[in-house]
Chain A
Amino acid sequence: MSTRTLKRLLLSAAVASTFAAGSAQADNTSVTVNATIIGVCKFQVTPVLNITNTGSGSNIDPSSSTTAQGQSAVTYRCTNGQAPTFTVPASATVTCTTAPTCNTSTMTTSSLTSANTGAGTGMGAGKDQTLTVTAQINQAGFQNALLGSYQGSIALTVAP
């Protein structure tokens, strides 16, 4: 192969290489990103509920005709815009915890209601909403109750 022929071959290769480099330039494509904020609700704090008709602690004066009542302000958070669905039982029962005085006697609430402040505004700090649970024991429910302390519980659920 002559020198001239070799130069022509090298030049051809260089030109071809240049076109090849052009074909490796930036290309464009799109990646689809999906995310869904799901609706969730979570309880934050569930304070105790003291039932009283004396305005003091959890005391019931059985000689009073005033209905005994207590409230618990349960806080919750939900996804922003998500309305919660609560399940609250229709009644609750408290059972004697001071066996020497009231043995195993019980009292049942005459009313158990709830109200809430509505849809969530997010799960971050300061976004608490409130579910207020109100329990009552009317005069007929406590006037003949045995002396002593009573305790019970209310199971709540929130969805989603």
Chain B
Amino acid sequence: MSNRLSFSIAASWVLVAGGADGAETATISIYTTVLPVCRFAASIGSDATRIPLDRAQGSATGAVTYQCTSGVAPTFAITASAGCPGCGDETPSAPVIVSYSHAIGRGMGSGRELTLVVAGPAPTESVRTALSNVSVTVSP
């Protein structure tokens, strides 16, 4: 018997032995989906917050940090600002969103915060007093 034939027989025996060890294999498929969400960092888990305004001469500004799922663009909306019943014709214009880092979300972990800045005109003391804060929502 040649060496090659002997080797072939030995290899065949090993394969049969390996397949006859009784072990059976199965595969479980795993699925998961990371959702698109944005949240204000100052109020964990919330998609709404109230931004206190810094009322300097002529304007009121405020900022808040937020986080979004990596890859998700935020959409903000100002839902309310303090009224000014005594302001008469000086009723302040609603603050507007000045900037939000123009960024796509970078994740929810520490150090991944982005900044939203709002501002509104506050030409008089009465308006500045009224514009103490602004409520904002973020989605998704």
Report A's interface with B, CB cutoff 8 A. 39-43, 46-52, 54, 57-64, 68, 70, 72, 74, 87, 92, 94, 101-102, 107, 133, 135, 137, 140, 142-160
Contact = CB atoms under 8 A, between A and B. Distances in A.
B109 A143 contact: yes
A153 B27 contact: yes
A51 B32 contact: yes
A111 B27 CA distance: 18
Given A144-B107, A157-B26, A158-B23, 9 more contacts: A41-B24, A46-B27, A49-B29, A61-B37, A145-B69, A147-B34, A149-B31, A149-B32, A155-B26
A57 B109 contact: no
B24 A59 contact: no
A153 B30 CA distance: 5
* B interface residue count range (under 10 / 10 to 19 / 20 to 34 / 35 or more): 20 to 34
B68 to A, nearest CB: 9
A63 B66 CA distance: 11
B27 A57 contact: no
B6 interface: no
Nearest to B46: A63
A22 to B, nearest CB: 54
A156 B31 contact: no
Nearest to B67: A63
B25 interface: yes
Interface in B12-55: 21-37, 39, 44-45
Contacts of B69: 62-63, 145-147
B24 A157 contact: yes
8 contacts: A49-B28, A60-B33, A61-B35, A61-B37, A143-B108, A147-B71, A153-B27, A158-B26
Contacts of A159: 21-24
Contacts of A154: 27-28, 30
B70 interface: yes
A51 B31 contact: yes
Nearest to B23: A159
B35 A62 contact: yes
Given A144-B107, A147-B71, A42 B24 contact: yes
Contacts of A39: 22
